[in-house]
Chain A
Amino acid sequence: MQRDRAHGDVGINPGMSVGVSQRIPAVESAAEPIGPRSARRSPHMSFQAGQPIKGAKIDVAFVGSCTNGRLSDLRIAAEVAKKGKVAKGVRALIVPGSQQVEKAAEAEGLHEIFKAAGFEWRKAGCSMCLA
């Protein structure tokens, strides 16, 4: 598989993000300077400049990773999960950041909340980060 070495230029720091109520910036007017290699990323993401990010359809949802799979993260995600069910056509995974977090989350019953809402409760591991 040909690796794209340009992937480091876009979406690598908070300055390159947009708020949920904002729109996709044009490459030329983005807050952070974006090099020419990064312009290749824009077609990959298939977003148009000016497009609102809210409402972008998703196929997969992944709560987890060692970065953001803390017990506190799972707790707040569970509070959100109580508010609805996983949408049709979406595959949603919850992966605790470690086995310790996994045990603690299960002791609190978070896994049942997620499963009731249609999320998959997975074992701690690298999961989507390596897929």
Chain B
Amino acid sequence: MSASSSNRNFIGRQGSPTGRTLLMSPAMVAAAAITGAVADVREIFDEHDSRLQEAADLRRGIPLPGNDIDTDRIIPAALPEGSDLPDHGRARLRGREEAEPRASVQLSGVQGASVLVVGQNFGCGSRASTRRKALMRWGIAAIVGGSYGEISSATA
């Protein structure tokens, strides 16, 4: 019986014609290795240990309320397409003075967050690649939301 972080669990794989394979994350494989059996890696770390969050693949999310957040609000509009981002790498959402003025939202203040939770039609507008770079610079690894602007979903 093997504990494996691969994606190969065919009958007879992993080194033995009668071999059986249990697929799991690398952290879980290491936990199984030192235990000798399938184990819960979360029990190996003290609950206050910061590594527990990573071992359990927990991510902190930032809610970003509102729909139709376009790319000009996500990146400083002053930056032309393709230019490098400021050193602080922070994406700021600016309110726009329109019929519906929206308060600007700062993404700072949520330490260690890597998942952005958004509403409908997120990332609409133009300059999607700069939007992506801005969010990645900030440390966003994933976006979860209701729907995405077409230009953003194509260049995700």
Contacts and interface: CB of A to CB of B under 8 A. Distances in A.
Interface in B7-42: 7-15, 17, 19-20, 22-23, 25-41
Interface stretch (A25-33, A58-66, A100-108): A58-66
Given A56-B37, A68-B26, A88-B36, 15 more contacts: A4-B12, A11-B9, A44-B20, A54-B39, A57-B1, A58-B37, A60-B3, A61-B29, A63-B29, A68-B7, A69-B26, A77-B27, A84-B44, A86-B33, A89-B36
A120 to B, nearest CB: 11
Interface of B: 1-15, 17, 19-20, 22-23, 25-41, 44-45, 51, 54-55
Contact of B38 (A56, A77, A78, A119): A56
A62 B34 contact: no
A81 B35 CA distance: 11
A69 B30 CA distance: 13
User: A76, A78, A87, A88: which has the most chain B beta carbons within 10 Å?
Assistant: A76
A32 to B, nearest CB: 15
Given A20-B40, A76-B26, A86-B33, A61 B3 contact: yes
Closest 6 CB pairs of A and B: A87-B36, A84-B34, A65-B6, A61-B33, A80-B30, A60-B2
Interface in A18-73: 20-21, 41, 44-46, 53-65, 67-69, 73
A77 B27 CA distance: 5
Contact of B37 (A11, A55, A68): A55
Given A7-B10, A58-B38, A87-B36, A76 B54 contact: yes
B14 A20 contact: no
Interface of A: 1, 4, 7, 11, 17, 20-21, 41, 44-46, 53-65, 67-69, 73-74, 76-81, 83-90, 92, 117, 119, 128-129, 131
Contacts of B3: 58, 60-62
Given A59-B1, A79-B51, A90-B36, A65 B7 contact: yes
A117 B29 CA distance: 14
Contacts of A77: 26-27, 29-30
Contacts of B5: 62-65, 67-69, 73
Contacts of A92: 30, 33
Nearest to A4: B11
Given A7-B11, A68-B6, A45 B55 contact: no
